Amino acid sequence: MAHSDIDELIRIFSKLPGLGPRSARRVVLLLMRNREQVMKPLHITLGKALENIKTCNVCGNLDIHDPCVICSDVKRDDSVLCVVEDLADLWAIERCNLYKGKYHVLGGTLSALDDRGPSQLNIESLVTRVGAGQVKEIILATNATIEGQTTAHYITNRLNGFNVSISRLAQGIPMGGELDYLDDGTLGAALRARLPF
Amino acid sequence: MAHSDIDELIRIFSKLPGLGPRSARRVVLLLMRNREQVMKPLHITLGKALENIKTCNVCGNLDIHDPCVICSDVKRDDSVLCVVEDLADLWAIERCNLYKGKYHVLGGTLSALDDRGPSQLNIESLVTRVGAGQVKEIILATNATIEGQTTAHYITNRLNGFNVSISRLAQGIPMGGELDYLDDGTLGAALRARLPF
C-alpha cells in the first residue's frame, strides 16, 4: 500500500497516547469503513476545534470562549482559586463535581531537568490575580510528585506578602486502596495525617 | 467543561477501537496541547483522505487511485488472485512481503446471524474476474472462523465450472507457538496436516 494519505493517517494516529502502529491501523480501517458516520464527523469537529478553541487569558483554561465558561460563571466563587498544573487536572477536579471556585492553570511544573523556570509557567498572572484582592483562598492542587511539590512551594513563597490562606490537597489512602499494595510514602503520609475516628 | 467541540471530539475518539472515554480525553488533551504539530496535520490528512480515497472497482481495495496501485501494478502476477475478507487482511498479507499476485476484497463474510448474503459481498465481481480467463489460481485467504470458512466453501462452489486451481492458507502451529497453550482445534489441524521432516 503505497498511498501516502492512508500511511500518513496511520503514522499520526500511532503517535497518539495509548495507540501504537497496530491499533492506529485498526483505527484508520474503522475510519475508512465508516466514512460518513465517523471519519467525516471527526474531520469536521477537529476543524471546528482548531478554529474555535482558545486559551482563556484569565486562568489558562482552553475553551471556545475567552474568558472561559468557568471564569465567566457568576455562580462560581471568585474568592477561591484552585491552582492546577494542567488542563487534565482541571478536568479531573471538575468531574468530581464538588469544587465551585475558580481555577488557575499553570501549564506545567517547574523542572530543573527539563529546564523549565517560573517564567514559562502562568505564575506571574497568578500573582497579579491574587494581587487584585478578590481571592481569599488558594488551593494548590499540583501533583504529588517532586516537581509538583516544588512548584507548590515556589508559589507559596511568591504569595508570601498577600493576605490569602493557602491549602493543599490531602494526601492519604485512596478510596478502596488496600494497605498491602500502597507504597511506603503514601502509607507514612496517611499515618502522620491521621484523623480522629 | 461545557464546550461542545471538545466534548464532541472526546466522544468521537472514545468510539474508536482501543480507546475509551479516559484515553480519548488524553488524546484530545495531547491534540490541544500540540495544535500545530499534531492537531492541524491530523485535520489536514483526514480531509485529504476523505477527498481522495476511493474503492478500487476491480478488487475492492481502498486507494487514492482506481484501479488501485496493486491492480495497476504490471509487475504483479495477474494469474493469481488472493481472496480476502477485508482490507485489514490485504494489508496483513502485503506486510509479509511474499505475495506477488493480485487481490480480491470480499468486504466481509457470509453470515446467517448478521443476515449477510452473497449479494452483499463482492462475489459476483470475483466470478466475473475469474470468467475473464486470465486467473489460473485462487488463494482463499478468508479467516479461519466459521463464517470465513463458510464463505470460502461458498466461493469454491460458485467457481466450480471454471478452470482454476483453488487453494487455502495452511493451518497449523503459529511461529513461536507453544503446544501447551494452543487450542485443541489448531493442534488437531496441525497433526492432521503433518509434513515429512
Alpha helices (H) in B15-167, listed in sequence order: 21-33, 40-52, 87-95, 124-131, 146-158
CB–CB contact B6 A49 (8 Å)? yes
Q: Are B53 and B87 in contact (CB under 8 A)?
A: no
**Has residue A1 got a pLDDT over 60?**
no
Name the CA radius of gyration of chain A, rounded.
21
CA dist., res. B81 & res. B132, Å (int): 13
Q: What is the pLDDT of residue B3?
A: 57
Residue A43 neighbours by CB under 8 Å, 6+ apart: B43, B46, B47, B50
Minimum distance, in Å, between the CA of residue A49 and any CA atom of chain B: 6
CB pair distance less than 8 Å for A46 and B42:
yes
ipTM: 0.78
The angle subtended at Cα A92 by Cα A86 and Cα A96, nearest 5°, is 150
User: What is the 3-state composition of chain A as percent helix, strand, coil, each rounded to the nearest 5?
Assistant: 45, 15, 40
The whole-number pLDDT of residue B184 equals 85
| Residue ranges per structural domain of chain A | 3-52, 62-168
Q: Inform me whether the pLDDT recorded for A42 exceeds 90.
A: yes
Neighbours of A184 (CB within 10 A): 7
Whether the per-residue pLDDT at A188 is higher than 50: the answer is yes
Whether B75 contacts chain A with CB within 8 A: no
A46 and B16: CB-CB below 8 Å?
A: no
Residue A44 has pLDDT above 90, yes or no: yes
User: A101-105 and A137-140 as β-strands: parallel, antiparallel, unpaired?
Assistant: unpaired
* pTM of structure: 0.77
pLDDT at A153 exceeding the cut of 50: yes
Of A48, A62, A91, the CB nearest to B25: A91
Establish whether domains B3-52 and B62-168 are of one fold: no
Average pLDDT over residues A45-55: 92
Q: Is the confidence at residue A181, as pLDDT, over 90?
A: no
CATH 1.10.10.60 is right for the domain spanning B3-52 = no
Contact with chain B for residue A18, Cβ under 8 A? yes
pLDDT for A116 beyond 50: yes
pLDDT tens, chain B, 197 aa long: 445 788 899 999 999 999 999 999 999 999 998 999 999 999 999 999 999 988 999 999 988 888 999 999 999 999 999 999 999 899 989 988 899 999 999 999 999 888 899 999 999 999 999 999 999 999 999 998 899 999 999 999 999 989 999 998 888 888 888 888 888 888 888 888 888 78
Note the CATH number of domain A62-168: 3.40.1360.10
Phi, psi of A148 (to 5 degrees): -60, -45
Position of cell 464546550?
Answer: B3
Q: What is the mean pLDDT of chain A?
A: 90
CA dihedral A63, A65, A71, A72 (to 10 degrees): -150
Give the Cα separation of A141 and A125 in Å (integer).
Answer: 17
B45–A15: do the CB atoms touch at under 8 Å?
no
Using a CB-CB distance cutoff of 8 angstroms, which residues of chain B are in contact with residue A49? 5-6, 9, 31-32, 39
Average pLDDT of the residues in A87-97: 90
Q: Which residue of B has its CA nearest to A107?
A: B33
Per-residue pLDDT at A45: 94
Percent of chain A with pLDDT over 90: 64
Q: What is the pLDDT of residue B1?
A: 43
DSSP, residue by residue, A97-109: T---EEEEE-SS-
Query: Do the chains contact at B1 and A91, CB–CB below 8 Å?
Result: yes
Of residues A118, A116, A115, A111, the one with CA closest to residue A143? A111
User: Would you call B21 an interface residue with chain A, using a CB distance cutoff of 8 Å?
Assistant: no
- Using CA atoms, how far residue B187 sits from A100, B37, B191, B197, in Å, is 62, 49, 6, 17
Across A35-57, average pLDDT: 93
Burial (Cβ within 10 Å: 0-12, 13-18, ≥19) of residue A9: buried
pLDDT digits (tens, 9 = 90+) for A2-17: 457 888 999 999 999 9
Select from A53, A134, A30, A87 the least CA-distant residue to B29.
Answer: A87
Query: What grid cell was written down for A26?
Result: 485498526
Mean pLDDT of A103-128: 92
| Phi, psi (deg, nearest 5) at residue B167 | -125, 170
Burial class of B152 by CB neighbour count within 10 A (0 to 12, 13 to 18, 19+): buried
Report the pLDDT value the prediction gives residue A3, as an integer from 0 to 100. Answer: 57
Q: And the C-alpha cell for A61?
A: 483554561
Parallel, antiparallel, or unpaired for β B165-168 and B137-140?
Answer: parallel
Pairing assessment for the beta strands B137-140 and B77-84 based on DSSP bridges: parallel
Which pLDDT value is given to residue B114? 86
User: For residues A93 and B130, what is the distance between their CA atoms, to the nearest angstrom?
Assistant: 62
Task: Report how far Cα A197 is from the mean position of its chain's Cα atoms.
Answer: 33
Of residues A41 and B171, the one with the higher pLDDT is A41
